[in-house]
Amino acid sequence: MGREPCCSSEGLNKGAWTAEEDGILKAYVQTHGEGRWRTLPKKAGLKRCGKSCRLRWLNYLRPDIKRGNISEQEEDLIIRLHWLLGNK
């Protein structure tokens, strides 16, 4: 029992995303918003699984993702929180 698969694995692209696929995903999410990841690939015209689209957006394409080195204040905060909370 449970949810039926979001897609059949036949005919899906696997592996690295192309710049064209990234552009399609960005444009679709900017127009329609985040969510309903299971239906996104069909509506956007991508040959990817909904989970793959969600993970690509959340981990690589979101505009608010901070990349690069952390600041001194961020490092101090991490050290203080680790001292207080440990490895939680």
Q: List the domains of the chain with CATH numbers.
A: 19-85 (1.10.10)
pLDDT at 8 (0 to 100):
67
Which parts of the chain sit beneath pLDDT 50?
Answer: none
pLDDT at 79 (0 to 100):
95
pLDDT at 13 (0 to 100):
87
Displacement of CA 54 from its chain's centroid (Å): 4
pLDDT at 63 (0 to 100):
92
Helices (H), 2-62: 19-32, 40-44, 50-56
Q: pTM value?
A: 0.73
